[in-house]
């Protein structure tokens, strides 16, 4: 079976909730990773003979595709003769793993699955509210998808969320106390900024800490009106700015009338026709890159400390060449034939994904991240992104306003929009 196009469980779960599913005769529903994936990302089996729409007792099985593939390969490798003893755990796994992707099966074997906890994570869920909380928060299924397959959102018992001002906060079961504290800390900072500016009333509805697509920190869902925030969130300036931007979207959708939106659209159009633009000051960043470049030379070793699996495997790298346009050509130190060649911008070394041991021993320190705006000249367009379109512009300047960075004309304009 072709399982090569799925890279991780995370990927499977994210896409599983949208794309493809297989219902079995026993009421089980398997959510697949992608249209052609042979292996489901997550399986739901009613334990009480109902359909999953009516069930009050469900088994959920999260399938770790990478671990399953690894185990499969290991069994195949360990048994080069091609035979595996009937009745052995290995045999049982091979059968299970080839069956699971087979559309003709009519039930799933939970007993067999629970013997391989590294591959199948089985959880038993009692009660509609527990089912809802676990599936939408721990398994990150979007609420609309839940409603489609599992039915209405139930009334929630207080044990499933944390009450925070007027909001209900949903946190994954496996979050540790310290990260839970960090999450609440971020919410508290957000609340302070909102309340100080008279927008404390925006703190209501559901806030869910879940993994998001790509590098996003938070999103506001215009349909369900809920706020999603990644669980590993730090109380940094950038995070707070980004999340206040999302609260500005909440304000736009839930509180602004047509007149206020038209005001924003007109102003945005007017500004874009004029010559006001975002102009971030990049001079110190440029100077650091130049400084770094002057200190780099071919033959130097670089360690990759990020999370990209292929890069981790081939680290350390050595600089082969530095191009005129500011790129490094790298080769893996272990790879004498230089099959693996990487081209990276010098600026990549300023991130925490790379380290240059020889420079760091010499006292080189990575600078602070690039300042995003100039306090004076960037009042109308605090970021490049704010020039994209009117609603995003509004969200950016409102975030800027909530952080008390806005003054003069732009601030007056916002007050007009708020109707104050
Ligand atoms: Zn936005």
pLDDT, tens only, 15-33: 444 457 788 888 898 887 6
CA 179 to ligand 1 centroid distance, Å: 26
What is the CA(392)–ligand 1 centre distance, in A?
5
Rounded distance from Cα 6 to ligand 1 centre (Å) = 30
Residue 148 domain-assigned?
no
pLDDT at 249: 96
Q: What is the 136 CA–ligand 1 centroid distance (Å)?
A: 23
> How many angstroms does the Cα of residue 278 sit away from the middle of ligand 1?
17
Distance 121 CA to ligand 1 centre (A): 35
User: Going along 233-374, which residue ranges are E strands?
Assistant: 301-304, 317-322, 327-332, 341-345, 354-355
CATH code of 334's domain = 2.30.30
CB proximity list for 346: less than 8 A, separation 6 or greater:
289, 292, 293, 296, 322, 326, 327, 328
Has residue 384 been placed in a domain? no
CATH number of 199's domain: 1.10.10
> Does some domain include residue 413?
yes
171/237 same-domain check = yes
Edge-to-edge strands, sheet with 166-170: 162-164, 166-170, 204-209, 227-229, 218-220
CA of 419 to the centre of ligand 1 (A): 22
On whether both 82 and 169 belong to a single domain, the answer is no
Expressed in angstroms and rounded, the spacing between residue 104 Cα and the centre of ligand 1 is 44
Q: Are residues 29 and 111 in the same domain?
A: yes
Q: How far is the CA of 219 from the centre of ligand 1 (A)?
A: 8
- What total number of domains does the chain contain? 3
| pLDDT score, position 140 | 85
Q: Is the CB of residue 62 less than 8 Å from the CB of residue 9?
A: yes
In 109-257, which residue ranges form alpha helices assigned H by DSSP? 110-113, 128-133, 143-150, 177-196, 237-254
Token pair 């010098």 is found at 346
CA of 395 to the centre of ligand 1 (A): 6
Tell me the CA–centroid distance for residue 297 and ligand 1, in Å.
41
Residues 173 and 244 occupy one common structural domain: yes
Å from CA of 221 to ligand 1 middle: 11
383 inside domain:
no
Answer yes or no: do 256 and 396 share one domain: yes
| CA 254 to centroid of ligand 1, rounded, Å | 15
* Cα 228 to averaged position of ligand 1 atoms, centre (Å): 13
CA 340 to centroid of ligand 1, rounded, Å = 38
Angle, helices 177-196/237-254, rounded to nearest 10 degrees:
60
> Is 379 inside a domain boundary?
no
Distance 161 CA to ligand 1 centre (A): 26
The predicted pLDDT at position 11 comes to 43
Does residue 380 lie in a domain region? no
**Domain-ending residue, one of 71, 101, 135:** 135
For 280-312, letters b (16+ CB in 10 Å) and e give beeeebeebbeebeeebeeebebebeeeeeebe
Question: Is 399 domain-assigned?
Answer: yes
Backbone angles phi, psi at 155, to 5 degrees: -70, 140
Give a yes or no: residue 95 inside a domain: yes
Element (H or E) spanning 408, and its range? helix 408-418
- State both tokens at 335: 């790879």
Last residue of a domain, one of 135, 152, 178: 135
Report strand pairing: 317-322 vs 162-164. unpaired
What pLDDT, on the 0 to 100 scale, is given for residue 284? Answer: 65
CA of 59 to the centre of ligand 1 (A): 37
Distance from Cα 94 to the centre of ligand 1, integer Å = 47
Q: In this structure, are 23 and 115 located in the same domain?
A: yes
Q: Which residues of the chain have pLDDT under 50?
A: 1-18
CA of 248 to the centre of ligand 1 (A): 8
Cα-to-centroid distance, 225 and ligand 1 (Å): 14
102 and 18 in a single domain? The answer is: yes
Same domain, 32 and 70: yes
Q: Label residue 202 exposed, middle or buried (CB < 10 Å: 0-12, 13-18, 19+).
A: buried
Domain region containing 41: 9-135
| Ligand 1 centroid – CA 186 distance (Å) | 19
Considering the domain architecture, whether residues 62 and 170 belong to the same structural domain is answered as: no
Q: Using CA atoms, how far apart are residues 270 and 279, in angstroms rounded to an integer?
A: 18
Copy the structure tokens of residue 21.
Answer: 């599913």
Ligand 1: centre distance to CA 147 (Å): 25
Q: Are residues 115 and 264 in the same domain?
A: no
Give yes or no: residues 179 and 297 share one domain: no
Q: Are residues 296 and 252 in the same domain?
A: no
**332 beta partners:** 317
E strands, 338-416, in order: 341-345, 354-355
């Amino acid at each position: 079976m072709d399982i090569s196009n799925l890279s991780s469980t995370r990927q499977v779960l994210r896409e599983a909730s949208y794309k493809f599913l297989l219902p079995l005769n026993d009421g089980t529903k398997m959510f697949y990773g992608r249209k052609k994936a042979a292996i489901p990302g997550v399986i739901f089996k009613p334990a009480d003979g109902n359909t999953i729409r009516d069930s009050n007792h469900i088994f959920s099985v999260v399938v770790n595709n990478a671990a399953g593939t690894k185990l499969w390969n290991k069994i195949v490798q360990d048994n080069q003769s091609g035979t595996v003893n009937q009745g052995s755990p290995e045999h049982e796994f091979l059968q299970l793993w080839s069956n699971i992707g087979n559309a003709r099966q009519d039930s799933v074997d939970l007993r067999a699955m629970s013997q391989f906890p590294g591959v199948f994570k089985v959880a038993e869920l009692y009660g509609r509210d527990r089912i809802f909380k676990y599936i939408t928060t721990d398994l990150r299924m979007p609420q609309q998808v839940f409603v489609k397959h599992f039915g209405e959102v139930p009334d929630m018992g207080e044990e499933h969320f944390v009450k925070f001002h007027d909001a209900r906060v949903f946190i994954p079961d496996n979050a540790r106390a310290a990260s839970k504290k960090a999450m609440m800390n971020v919410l508290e900072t957000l609340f302070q900024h909102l309340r100080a500016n008279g927008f404390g009333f925006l703190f209501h509805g559901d806030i869910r800490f879940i993994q998001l697509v790509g590098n996003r920190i938070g999103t506001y869902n215009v349909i369900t009106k809920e706020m999603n925030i990644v669980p590993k969130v730090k109380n940094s300036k950038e995070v707070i700015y980004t999340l206040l931007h999302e609260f500005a979207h909440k304000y736009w959708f839930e509180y602004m009338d047509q007149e206020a939106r038209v005001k924003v659209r007109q102003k945005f159009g007017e500004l874009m026709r004029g010559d006001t633009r975002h102009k971030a000051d990049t001079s110190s960043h440029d100077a650091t890159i130049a400084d770094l470049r002057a200190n780099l030379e071919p033959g130097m070793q670089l360690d990759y400390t990020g999370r990209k699996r292929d890069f981790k495997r081939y680290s350390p790298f050595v600089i082969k060449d530095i191009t005129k346009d500011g790129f490094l050509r790298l080769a893996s130190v272990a790879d004498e034939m230089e099959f693996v060649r990487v081209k990276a911008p010098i600026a990549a070394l300023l991130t925490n994904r790379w380290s240059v041991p020889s420079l760091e021993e010499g006292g080189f320190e990575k600078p602070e991240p690039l300042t995003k705006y100039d306090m004076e000249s960037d009042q109308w367009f605090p970021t490049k992104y704010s020039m994209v379109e009117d609603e995003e512009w509004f969200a950016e300047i409102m975030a800027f306003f909530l952080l008390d960075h806005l003054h003069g004309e732009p601030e007056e304009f916002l007050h007009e929009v708020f109707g104050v």
